[in-house]
Amino acid sequence: MADVPLIARFDALLADLDGVVYAGPHAIAGAVGSLQQLSGLGIGLGYVTNNASRSPAQVAAHLRELGAPAEDQQVVSSSQAAAELLASLLAPGARVLITGSAALAREIELVGLLPVHSQDEQPVAVVQGFNPELGWKDLAEAAYVVSAGALWVATNTDMSIPQARGIAPGNGTLVAAVAAATGQQPRVAGKPEAPLFHAAAKRLGAERPLVVGDRLDTDILGGNNAGFATVAVLTGVDTRESILAARAAERPAYIIENLPDLYRPYPEVTHEDGTYSCGDATARVANGAVGIIGRQDDLNAWRAACAAWWAATPDATAPHAPKLAWLDH
């Protein structure tokens, strides 16, 4: 399998959006062309997003504007997952305070619940999703309702979101504000929970999907929780350094620079007597540090370092960055 493209090992790609396909309104270089190639290989494509500010139809329309292949049903969102979770816990017609977008309110309507926007309307639950228009009054309204004992569901808890100008606060920061005010914690419907990924794979009829994402704490952890293969891409939030330091549950099976790398053979990592090799690079752990023979700009050196460090810390429950000792060839 070492000489075939990485993507050829799988029957579907489950792709995150922010930081993988686009950053803000613009496509990431090489992403659209890579997604377009999938259908010619008979590989399914699904989009799994924690961004609840837009409906799946709006997300699909944006993807098509960028040139990416996208039907509405290919988009599985955390707002859908939150609505389904609430519908399973509440009586039909129950009132739900919307702390989020009109798209989130629509998903609540579609499952037979009643969206409301004020504590005065006596909601029995709060659903909170990302909306760049949210302000203090919206968060205060949520806090009043949560403090009164209502069920609280968050679409997701991403602490940051990649934008064209840089990294901006995500829904998790807004959820954290309500949590700090109330002393409560929400149930989370989207990534890193497994059902979102299972739903996407089921829609595609996929048995061997590959999950691609830029975030360890949502995309990679969620894909791992779902039992799927995962690949971290370096076009968004997480970096070579943060991936190396990842706790065991958030470690990807593969690491690539960008989506075009899916169409290249993935180099095998081998090991002998504690030395891990990938391409021309090698890595070895000694005294809690990783010694690397290779170039810092060579991803194979980081792949070897990850393999060595992860083998030495197989049960890590928290991120831990080792000291690195670089030796050039």
Q: Tell me, yes or no, if 138 is annotated catalytic.
A: no
* List 18, 138, 219, 238, catalytic entry: 18
* List 3, 11, 16, 72, catalytic entry: 16
End-to-end CA distance of the chain: 28
Q: Tell me, yes or no, if 16 is annotated catalytic.
A: yes
Contacts of 136 (CB under 8 A, 6+ apart): none
291: its two tokens: 């010694």
State the CB neighbour count (10 A cutoff) for residue 270. Answer: 12
- CB half-sphere exposure, 218, CA atoms < 13 A: 32
Report the candidate in 28, 11, 7 with the shortest Cα–Cα distance to residue 214: 28
Catalytic residues: 16, 18
